[in-house]
């Protein structure tokens, strides 16, 4: 347990939530986990984790890989070696990559994904990627990023991956405004979003990541980007360095968040507010009805969020405003005040936020809070259930399609499910 005291800061603006800042022991997956949804999204990409047997086990158990399938990720196991063995490790990596690309000529983008064992840290994967890219670039681009548990929590793996793609995006040929949606989305959600943007009159939309990593959209001063995921700080920074501008909005979770997200894009692209209202009306109504079905199970229930995915603040906003849940504490591994500004203003006054983690202290606060439901990582769920608390795995919220009007009811149902299950067990 850390001996650092949590620092409580309350902004002078009284409506701004109080934040507990902690830097102690934390319990989250590493950034390798992002490969599980990224490899499904980018169908011409391959993720080669340069890591240990632990990394291989994490991926195989988290992804439930069948070993006879041809998956789009694998682990090159680097055994322990001293600095004198680094040249051998580079040779070994080159051999693994050459063999892989000979066997799998369909791979268009190969990500070398770094991990945290010391023998991997000694390898310069960025340089290895450049060397291999020079050799294979005519058929396969080779890029590198880190999914190490020392540097990344599980959703930051996506940020690191997309940040590696930004320098590869071509320069836009004109400064005409064009919308870029940033953050990995299930294909079904991407298609729904494209249709909704078309109804708003915004026809030209690009996605990062798209379905093919080798066909990246162009970027330039005309790019207006809308974050679909709240954990993409580095990707956003690099896009802005390429001239892109962020459209400020809450995140598209729930009826209200989705409507505000689309409306922000509509304003940026000069769509009249009455046109936007009409275009969004049907989706809003469907989302409202679907969410309302789960309100009886959730209204008035107390919820506590451990910091895990960075989705916590938008989820808390939706659960409080659309389902009447009471927020005990909303933890987030990292609070990006600019990207979260529109979310923070929507949180109920006095919401207690926590940034970072000191797991022992947070467990104490959780037990004292009288929470009915706790959102946390897998490692904490079992001990909390054993103490009689209902839990929801935060990783499930990243794997499931939850964005947009059509998914709002499913999202509410994910939170109602633990209560329904308990009722069934009691009956
Ligand atoms: Fe474990 Fe580090 Fe490998 Fe992640 S990257 S599985 S934290 S050894």
Any bridge partners for residue 356, and if so which? 22
H-helix or E-strand containing 355? strand 352-357
Instruction: For residues 19-41, give the mean pLDDT.
Output: 85
> Which ligand 1 atom is nearest residue 58's CA?
6
Quick one: pLDDT at residue 233? 97
Is the confidence at residue 68, as pLDDT, over 60? no
Judge whether 165 and 38 are in contact, CB under 8 Å: no
Q: Percent of the chain scored above 90 by pLDDT?
A: 69
Rounded distance from Cα 147 to ligand 1 centre (Å):
8
The tally of CA atoms less than 13 A away on the side-chain side of residue 264 is: 22
Residues 185 and 146 in one domain: no
Quick one: pLDDT at residue 358? 87
- Residue 82: pLDDT band (50, 70, 90) is low
Instruction: For residues 260-287, give the mean pLDDT.
Output: 97
Instruction: For residues 356-363, give the mean pLDDT.
Output: 89
Atom 6 in ligand 1: residue holding the nearest Cα: 55
Asked, for residue 253, whether it belongs to a domain, the answer is yes
> Which ligand 1 atom is nearest residue 147's CA?
5
Q: Is 350 helix (H, G, I), strand (E, B) or coil?
A: coil
Q: Is 185 helix (H, G, I), strand (E, B) or coil?
A: coil
- Residue 123: pLDDT band (50, 70, 90) is confident
> Can you tell me the distance from the alpha carbon of 95 to that of 97, in angstroms, rounded to the nearest whole number?
5
More confident residue, 204 or 143: 143
Q: Which stretch of 179-193, 255-269, 408-422 has the lowest confidence by average pLDDT?
A: 408-422
Structural domain containing residue 101: 31-152
Quick one: pLDDT at residue 204? 87
Is the confidence at residue 274, as pLDDT, over 90? yes
> Which ligand 1 atom is nearest residue 115's CA?
5
Judge whether 396 and 63 are in contact, CB under 8 Å: no
User: Could you read off the pLDDT of 231-240 as tens digits, one per residue?
Assistant: 999 999 999 9
Here the CATH number for the domain that contains residue 302 is 3.40.50.1980
Q: What is the ipTM of this complex?
A: 0.98
Is the confidence at residue 5, as pLDDT, over 70? no
Is the confidence at residue 360, as pLDDT, over 70? yes
Residue 421 burial (10 A CB sphere; 0-12, 13-18, 19+): exposed
H-helix or E-strand containing 127? helix 125-136
352-357: strand order across its sheet: 7-9, 18-23, 352-357, 326-332, 302-305, 373-376, 390-393
Is the confidence at residue 52, as pLDDT, over 70? yes
Asked, for residue 94, whether it belongs to a domain, the answer is yes
Residue 67 burial (10 A CB sphere; 0-12, 13-18, 19+): exposed
> Which ligand 1 atom is nearest residue 30's CA?
4
Nearest to 391 by CA among 408, 409, 407, 378: 378
Where are any strands of DSSP class E within 28-152?
45-51, 73-77, 109-114, 141-146
Judge whether 376 and 391 are in contact, CB under 8 Å: yes
Triad 304, 348, 361: Cα angle to 5°: 30
Quick one: pLDDT at residue 70? 54
Instruction: For residues 369-373, give the mean pLDDT.
Output: 95
- Residue 321: pLDDT band (50, 70, 90) is very high
Quick one: pLDDT at residue 84? 58
> Can you tell me the distance from the alpha carbon of 122 to that of 97, in angstroms, rounded to the nearest whole number?
19
Instruction: Count structural domains, the chain.
Output: 3
Asked, for residue 93, whether it belongs to a domain, the answer is yes
Quick one: pLDDT at residue 80? 60
Which of 290, 311, 329 is a domain's end point?
290
Instruction: For residues 304-321, give the mean pLDDT.
Output: 96
Q: Is the dihedral of CA 200, 204, 208, 211 positive or negative?
A: positive
Asked, for residue 167, whether it belongs to a domain, the answer is no
163-202 burial, b at 16+ Cβ within 10 Å, e below that, comes to: bbbbeebeebeeeeebbbbbbbbbeebbebbeebbebbeb
DSSP conformational letter for 70: -
Residues 281 and 371 in one domain: no
Asked, for residue 384, whether it belongs to a domain, the answer is yes
DSSP conformational letter for 308: S
Rounded distance from Cα 119 to ligand 1 centre (Å):
12
Instruction: For residues 24-38, give the mean pLDDT.
Output: 83
Nearest to 73 by CA among 105, 98, 36: 36
> Can you tell me the distance from the alpha carbon of 389 to that of 373, in angstroms, rounded to the nearest whole number?
6
Residues 100 and 212 in one domain: no
Atom 3 in ligand 1: residue holding the nearest Cα: 55
Atom 7 in ligand 1: residue holding the nearest Cα: 149
User: Could you read off the pLDDT of 153-200 as tens digits, one per residue?
Assistant: 889 999 999 999 999 999 999 999 999 999 999 999 999 999 999 999
Cβ count within 10 A of residue 65: 15
* 55 annotated binding-site participant: yes
Judge whether 13 and 350 are in contact, CB under 8 Å: no
Which of 252, 273, 290 is a domain's end point?
290
Rounded distance from Cα 425 to ligand 1 centre (Å):
36
> Can you tell me the distance from the alpha carbon of 61 to that of 385, in angstroms, rounded to the nearest whole number?
22
Residues 302 and 419 in one domain: yes
For residue 197, give both structure tokens. 């943007």
Is the confidence at residue 2, as pLDDT, over 70? no
* 14 annotated binding-site participant: no
Residues 126 and 61 in one domain: yes
Indicate the top mutation candidate among 148, 152, 153, 160 to test ligand 1's pocket, ranked by most ligand atoms within 8 A of CB. 148
Which of 134, 152, 170 is a domain's end point?
152
Residues 36 and 138 in one domain: yes
Residues 44 and 89 in one domain: yes
Residues 144 and 225 in one domain: no
* 30 annotated binding-site participant: yes
Cβ count within 10 A of residue 262: 27
Residues 54 and 75 in one domain: yes
Rounded distance from Cα 308 to ligand 1 centre (Å):
16
Asked, for residue 166, whether it belongs to a domain, the answer is no
pTM of the model: 0.92
Asked, for residue 170, whether it belongs to a domain, the answer is no
Rounded distance from Cα 90 to ligand 1 centre (Å):
20
- Residue 354: pLDDT band (50, 70, 90) is very high
> Which ligand 1 atom is nearest residue 116's CA?
2
Asked, for residue 86, whether it belongs to a domain, the answer is yes
Q: Which stretch of 115-129, 185-199, 395-409 has the lowest confidence by average pLDDT?
A: 115-129
- Residue 365: pLDDT band (50, 70, 90) is very high
Beta strand pairing call for 373-376 and 352-357: unpaired
Instruction: For residues 137-161, give the mean pLDDT.
Output: 92
Residues 101 and 210 in one domain: no
Instruction: For residues 201-211, give the mean pLDDT.
Output: 95
For the chain, give the mean pLDDT: 90
Residues with CB under 6 A from ligand 1: 30, 32, 51-52, 54-55, 58, 115-117, 147-149
């Amino acid at each position: 347990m850390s001996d650092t005291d949590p620092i409580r800061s309350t902004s002078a603006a009284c409506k701004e939530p109080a934040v507990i800042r902690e830097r102690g022991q934390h319990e989250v997956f590493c950034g390798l986990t992002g490969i599980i949804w990224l490899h499904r999204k980018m169908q011409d990409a391959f993720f080669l984790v340069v890591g240990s047997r632990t990394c291989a086990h994490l991926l195989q158990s988290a992804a439930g890989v069948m070993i006879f399938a041809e998956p789009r990720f694998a682990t090159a196991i680097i055994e322990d070696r001293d600095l004198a063995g680094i040249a051998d490790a580079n040779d070994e990596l080159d051999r693994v990559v050459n063999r892989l690309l000979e066997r799998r000529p369909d791979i268009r983008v190969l990500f070398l994904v770094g991990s945290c064992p010391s023998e991997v840290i000694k390898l310069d994967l960025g340089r290895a990627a450049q060397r291999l890219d020079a050799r294979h670039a005519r058929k396969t681009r080779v890029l590198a990023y880190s999914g190490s548990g020392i540097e990344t929590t599980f959703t930051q793996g996506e940020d690191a991956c997309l940040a590696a793609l930004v320098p590869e995006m071509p320069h836009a040929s004109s400064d005409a405004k064009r919308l870029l949606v940033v953050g990995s989305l299930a294909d079904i959600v991407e298609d729904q979003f494209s249709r909704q943007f078309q109804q708003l009159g915004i026809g030209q939309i690009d996605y990062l990541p798209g379905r093919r990593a080798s066909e990246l959209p162009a970027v330039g001063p005309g790019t207006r980007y809308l974050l679909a995921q709240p954990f993409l700080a580095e990707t956003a920074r690099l896009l802005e360095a390429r001239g892109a501008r962020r459209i400020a909005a809450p995140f598209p979770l729930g009826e209200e968040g989705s409507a505000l997200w689309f409306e922000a894009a509509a304003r940026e692209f000069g769509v009249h507010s009455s046109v936007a209202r009409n275009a969004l009306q049907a989706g809003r109504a469907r989302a409202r009805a679907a969410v309302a079905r789960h309100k009886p199970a959730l209204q008035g229930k107390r919820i506590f969020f451990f910091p895990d995915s960075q989705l916590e603040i938008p989820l808390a906003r939706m659960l409080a405003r659309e389902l009447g849940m009471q927020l005990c504490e909303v933890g987030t591994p990292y609070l990006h005040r600019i990207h979260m500004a529109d979310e923070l203003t929507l949180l109920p006054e006095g919401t207690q936020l926590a940034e970072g983690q000191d797991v022992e202290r947070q467990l104490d606060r959780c037990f004292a809070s009288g929470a009915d439901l706790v959102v946390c990582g897998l490692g904490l769920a079992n001990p909390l259930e054993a103490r009689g608390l209902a839990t929801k795995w935060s990783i499930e919220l990243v794997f499931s399609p939850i964005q947009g009007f059509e998914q709002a009811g499913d999202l509410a149902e994910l939170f109602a499910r633990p209560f329904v299950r308990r009722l069934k067990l009691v009956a």
